[in-house]
Chains A and B, each alone.
Chain A
Amino acid sequence: MNHAGKRRDRTVAVLLTSFSILVVTGPWLPQWAMFIMTVAVARGLVVLGLLLLLRAGLVSFGQALFYCLGAYSAGALGRFFGISDIFVEMLVGGAVAAATAFVLGFLLARYRGIFFGLLSLALSMILYGLLVKSEALGSTDGFNILPSTLFGIRPGAEWVRYAVLVSAAAVALVAALLVHRYLDTPLGRLAPAIKDNEIRVEYMGASARRAVHVKYVIAGGLAGVGGALAATAVGHIDPEMAYWTTSGEFIFIAILAGTGNVVAPFVGALIYGAIHTLAYDLSPNTWQMTLGVALLLLIVFLPNGLWSAFSRFRWR
């Protein structure tokens, strides 16, 4: 929180530097690394939204709902309208998800704790059930996404991954900067107050429900953008994206990363992606165990997430 400039906030500098390094060094990265990083950015966007909710004490077990909606919106653009521009996909994916979150928010913003968590989980499983039954959208198999284009141009085969990664990183940069700014406003700072004492918030003249609703819409929109991005990066979508294990992955990353800073979700997603890939490479049948052990170690040694290790160096 704001301590009148006692601690210098280097978040903006770190974000801008990381982005610049990525843009410059990107062309030399191997294709698989670019893919892992793009997926990490997509997941990072979802977790960035989750961070807003977690700060207010709300654990959503259903962010996969918006992730999947974003992905299917992006897929539908290509399948039904022949649109494959990555920015249009992200914009539409985010907008559809945010609009859905706005409507569902009227219900969800009334609930807290386990009720909020389970209700969000139930809603994402409804989408899963619907998608599995809908032949037009490929049922359980899902369908393939058109190859990405950028402002009407299709990059050469060896440049596609780089173009997608940089576009993803650019969107993530803007999102992270906006959320960072939001967290430093009186509205954003209300989150820990809602977590601590909602009655007091009401008695000081603010609507906790409305604040939660706003956070839920932002989180939904970010998850939608992340879903659209994942769809275009992977090139395929299926109903698994709405399954509860996908939501679990996002919570896993959020715990791994911590909620201390907007950079944390992206670092967390990248480390999660790396552990996941490594574990799968080493033992394809027991990779979940490796991930489980990693989480266990983290909870024991860094209960506030990886970010708490960084913040010891006076970052925030």
Chain B
Amino acid sequence: MAIILDARSLCKAFGAVVAASEVSAAIEKDSIVGLIGTNGAGKTTFINIVTGYLKPDRGSIAYEGRDITRLPPRDITRLGICRSFQIPQLYGSLSVFENMMIGIGIVLRNAGLAGYFSRGAALVPGYGEPADAVAERILGRFGLLEYRDRNAQVLPGGARKLLDIALAMVARPRILLLDEPTSGVSAQEKFGIMQMVLEAVRAEGATVLFVEHDMEVVSRFAQRVLAFYDGRIIADAPPHAALAHPEVKRYVVGTRA
């Protein structure tokens, strides 16, 4: 299968703390990859490097053969790599619908369809619908329509998480990085949320990388697992093989090998 994202020998240290050490991974197009590891193992650092928030000390990242190592987050987003956040990053003073409209406005702007005096009435590229219809469609897909006019600040935790992911979906990413999509969500809701998110994402045909602590979720939804420990990738295999790996058992899952 074609490689869409190729990370090579990424290294990143914060003082004495090594957050990434020779991290290499080639991600296949349309795959679903689970990133596992204890807190501080380097999962979020990996996501931060891929999305341009952190610059690696060494190593490189190629997206469809193009080097994106030094690009800022907005340029990487424009290329089609989007992310969600462990702590939802929303526009707290705006309604759920307005949150979506901000994102769609940026998409229109980046497509050259919204200038200083154009209201952005054009059809949203990739959707072929006007902005408000697109916003409602995505909200509907994530089950958020009932919160449409609620302030983003006062949403329940699960809805905040979903809105954060919905915002990342607006630009129709080719690669979507989800940082702990089910953290802070009750155990019963976890599978529902993952199901909903992955269905929405797969409908758009995107490659997904998600950080997850619940091994049941990982083995059910991931096709491949990258296990992080101490800034390194200690296992890179399909879920059953990765979770059976002795180092993963000892350092990540927490059972004796």
Chain A residues with CB under 8 Å of chain B are 1-2, 4, 178, 181-182, 184-187, 189-190, 192-193, 195-197, 199-207
Is B98 in contact with chain A by the CB < 8 A criterion? yes
Shortest Cβ gap from B58 to chain A (Å) = 24
Bound-state Cα–Cα, A187 to B102, Å: 9
Contacts of B119 in A (CB 8 A): 2, 181, 184-185
Contacts of B116 in A (CB 8 A): 182, 185, 187
Most B C-beta atoms less than 10 A away, residue of A1, A200, A207: A200
Which of A4, A182, A185, A189 is within 8 Å of B102, CB to CB? A189
One of B31-39, B84-92, B246-254 contacting the partner: B84-92
Chain B residues with CB under 8 Å of chain A are 51, 72-74, 77-78, 82-83, 89-94, 98, 101-110, 114-120, 132, 167-168, 170-171
A186-B108, A189-B101 as given contacts; A202 in contact with B114, CB under 8 Å: no
Bound-state Cα–Cα, A197 to B73, Å: 14
Closest A-B pairs by Cβ, 9 of them = A186-B105, A205-B77, A196-B91, A200-B89, A186-B114, A186-B120, A206-B106, A193-B102, A205-B78
Which of A181, A190, A206 is within 8 Å of B110, CB to CB? A206
A185-B115, A197-B89, A203-B51 as given contacts; A4 in contact with B74, CB under 8 Å: no
Please determine whether A197 and B83 come into contact, CB atoms closer than 8 angstroms: no
Contacts of A201 in B (CB 8 A): 102, 106
Q: Which residue of B lies closest to A189 (CB)?
A: B105
Bound-state Cα–Cα, A201 to B51, Å: 14
Please determine whether B93 and A195 come into contact, CB atoms closer than 8 angstroms: yes
Shortest Cβ gap from B46 to chain A (Å) = 16
Shortest Cβ gap from A74 to chain B (Å) = 26
Bound-state Cα–Cα, A201 to B91, Å: 9
A196-B91, A200-B91, A205-B78 as given contacts; A190 in contact with B105, CB under 8 Å: yes
Contacts of B92 in A (CB 8 A): 196-197
Shortest Cβ gap from B98 to chain A (Å) = 5
Contacts of A207 in B (CB 8 A): 74
Contacts of A200 in B (CB 8 A): 89-91, 167
Please determine whether A185 and B89 come into contact, CB atoms closer than 8 angstroms: no
Which of A195, A197, A199, A206 is within 8 Å of B109, CB to CB? A206
Please determine whether B117 and A203 come into contact, CB atoms closer than 8 angstroms: no
Q: A186-B101, A192-B93, A197-B90 are in contact. List 20 more A-B contacts (CB 8 A).
A: A1-B101, A2-B101, A2-B119, A4-B132, A185-B115, A185-B119, A186-B108, A186-B109, A189-B102, A190-B106, A196-B93, A196-B94, A197-B89, A200-B91, A201-B102, A201-B106, A203-B51, A203-B77, A204-B106, A205-B74
